[in-house]
Amino acid sequence: MSGIEDYMLPCLNKTFLGFECMGCGLQRSIVLLIKGQFVDAFIMYPAIYPMLFLFVFLIFDRFTTIKHGEKAKLILAALTLLVAVTSYIIKMFVH
């Protein structure tokens, strides 16, 4: 039986250079979210929740005016980047 996992793109960084990139785990994390495995999704890619919240906010902001929306977008983007970079550093140097 074929699943969505069969259509995932390989990490070219890991394939050609031998080490993971900052986005490694994102696709698998999304699949875990779809399956309802929320804790596993976070463990796979910790930036999934701030990123998801940022995208929902961006979509919502597209259709309505939000007071201090630009500041909120900047904060959410910075938080997403901070979590992604921090988890990448931990994954690369602590594990």
**CA 86/CA 32 separation, integer angstroms:** 21
DSSP at 82:
H
What predicted TM-score, i.e. pTM, was given to this entire model? 0.81
Which tens digit of pLDDT belongs to each residue from 17-34? Answer: 877 888 888 999 999 999
Domain assignments of the chain as residue spans, ordered by start: 4-93
pLDDT tens for each residue of the chain, 95 residues long:
457 777 777 777 777 887 788 888 899 999 999 999 999 999 999 999 999 999 999 999 999 988 999 999 999 999 999 999 999 999 888 86
Cβ-Cβ contacts under 8 Å for 31 (sequence gap 6 or more): 4, 5, 8
